[in-house]
């Protein structure tokens, strides 16, 4: 009799917990939908006024109410993917070092703490560090190439951004590499493989989905970074693919101009930029999730 009561109580507890989780999932979905539709409603005047020229135009002139977001879209993708490429190399190296070779000891603990500390530094502090150290270096490079020596540029912002997103990919990569079953490593070593071969052929393929998940998290951080990028990118509205020239991102143009937007179309266009950033982030995250699922199926995790 008591066992039946326990079983019934357990089922009720499971049902209540499942209902709670379902409610949380629905709440998150409703929140995302509310964000999107609020941006859509606020940007409606700009959507009607700008049309498709908003995505293809390169002119941003509040005086004539001509708004094209292509320079900001290009700047966002350039800075994010350049930073991600640099951060991926560095974070993967750190992940392998901390997850495979330095798994314990005081130096390992110190290095892990330092990497995690990077994620907690305010972005404005990163911006001042970039102004003090990166801008003079890039200025010297621009002078050597006989370019205007601004120092601030897309490359400057990308270099700093790579350091800012590094801890996100490195921390998750270290965790998933450390979670690879020891039996797989030992089986590979017992068959005559070296440690580096085991790492390349067993550990990294098994942990590939988790490593890519960390990289995807770093990409999301890079897409939305505002203050540090605003301080170092130069805030030019001109469309350029020159990495040593000043540029702009969607986040930085909103931060720079939102308080100065006086006209209804001007303000709505900035909200439309925010909606575009939201859509780009969502599309890239969904595409990344698809790749993660394929990697997980391939590795059997």
For residue 110, the domain's CATH number is: 1.10.3720.10
Binned at pLDDT 50, 70 and 90, residue 177 comes out as confident
Tell me if 289 is assigned to some domain: yes
pLDDT score, position 4: 56
Tell me if 47 is assigned to some domain: no
Distance CA(60)–CA(40), nearest Å, equals 20
Contact 214, 172 (CB under 8 A): yes
* Mean pLDDT (whole number) for 260-285: 90
Q: 128 and 229: one domain?
A: yes
Binned at pLDDT 50, 70 and 90, residue 301 comes out as low
Tell me if 199 is assigned to some domain: yes
Token reading at 293: 């699922």
pLDDT score, position 299: 59
* Mean pLDDT (whole number) for 230-248: 91
Instruction: Give Cα 71 distance to the centre of its chain.
Output: 19
Q: 25 and 103: one domain?
A: no
Pick from 171, 248, 178: which is nearest to 207 by CA?
178
Domain containing residue 94: 52-299
* Mean pLDDT (whole number) for 68-76: 93
Instruction: Give Cα 130 distance to the centre of its chain.
Output: 19
Q: 21 and 85: one domain?
A: no
Tell me if 258 is assigned to some domain: yes
Distance CA(271)–CA(1), nearest Å, equals 63
Q: 130 and 35: one domain?
A: no
Q: 84 and 178: one domain?
A: yes
Q: 80 and 185: one domain?
A: yes
Residue 2 has pLDDT above 70, yes or no: no
Query: How do residues 79-93 score in pLDDT, each as one tens digit?
Result: 999 999 999 999 999
Tell me if 110 is assigned to some domain: yes
Query: How do residues 136-164 score in pLDDT, each as one tens digit?
Result: 999 999 999 888 888 899 999 999 999 99
Tell me if 72 is assigned to some domain: yes
The pTM for the full model equals 0.88
Rounded percentage of the chain residues whose pLDDT exceeds 70:
95
Q: 32 and 166: one domain?
A: no
Q: 181 and 294: one domain?
A: yes
pLDDT score, position 253: 93
Q: 118 and 176: one domain?
A: yes
Query: How do residues 207-233 score in pLDDT, each as one tens digit?
Result: 888 888 888 888 888 998 888 999 999
Q: 90 and 6: one domain?
A: no
Q: 37 and 56: one domain?
A: no
* Mean pLDDT (whole number) for 89-101: 88
Contact 281, 224 (CB under 8 A): yes
Residue 5 has pLDDT above 70, yes or no: no
* Mean pLDDT (whole number) for 176-186: 84
Q: 235 and 175: one domain?
A: yes
pLDDT score, position 26: 93
Rounded percentage of the chain residues whose pLDDT exceeds 90:
41
Token reading at 41: 């409603």
Q: Name the DSSP letter for residue 233.
A: S
Tell me if 68 is assigned to some domain: yes
* Mean pLDDT (whole number) for 264-290: 90
At a CB cut-off of 8 Å and minimum separation 6, what does 126 contact?
160, 163, 164, 228
Query: How do residues 7-63 score in pLDDT, each as one tens digit?
Result: 666 677 788 888 888 999 899 999 999 999 999 999 999 999 988 889 998 899 888
Q: How many domains does one find in the chain?
A: 2
Residue 245 has pLDDT above 80, yes or no: yes
Tell me if 144 is assigned to some domain: yes
């Amino acid at each position: 009799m008591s066992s039946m009561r326990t079983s019934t109580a357990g089922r009720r507890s499971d049902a209540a917990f499942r209902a709670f989780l379902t409610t949380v999932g629905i709440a998150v979905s409703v929140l995302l939908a509310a964000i999107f539709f609020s941006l859509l409603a606020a940007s409606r005047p700009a959507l009607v006024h700008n049309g498709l020229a908003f995505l293809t135009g390169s002119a941003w002139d509040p005086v004539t109410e001509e708004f094209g977001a292509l320079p900001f879209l290009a700047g966002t993708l350039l800075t994010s993917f350049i930073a991600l490429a640099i951060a991926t190399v560095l974070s993967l190296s750190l992940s392998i070092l901390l997850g495979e070779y330095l798994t314990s000891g005081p130096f390992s603990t110190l290095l892990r703490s330092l990497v995690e500390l990077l994620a907690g530094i305010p972005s404005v502090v990163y911006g001042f560090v970039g102004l003090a150290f990166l801008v003079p270096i890039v200025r010297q490079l621009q002078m050597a190439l006989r370019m205007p020596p601004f120092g601030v540029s897309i490359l400057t912002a990308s270099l700093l951004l790579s350091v800012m997103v590094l801890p996100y990919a490195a921390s998750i990569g270290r965790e998933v590499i450390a979670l690879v079953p020891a039996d797989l490593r030992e089986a590979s070593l017992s068959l005559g493989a070296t440690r580096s071969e085991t790492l390349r052929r067993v550990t990294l393929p098994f942990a590939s989905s988790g490593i890519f998940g960390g990289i995807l998290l770093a990409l999301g951080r890079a897409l939305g970074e505002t203050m540090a990028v605003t301080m170092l990118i130069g805030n030019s509205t001109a469309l350029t693919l020159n990495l040593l020239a000043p540029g702009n991102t969607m986040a930085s143009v909103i931060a720079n101009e939102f308080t100065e937007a006086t006209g209804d179309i001007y303000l709505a266009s900035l909200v439309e930029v925010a909606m575009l950033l939201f859509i780009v982030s969502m599309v890239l995250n969904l595409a990344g999730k698809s790749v993660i699922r394929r990697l997980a199926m391939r590795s059997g995790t």
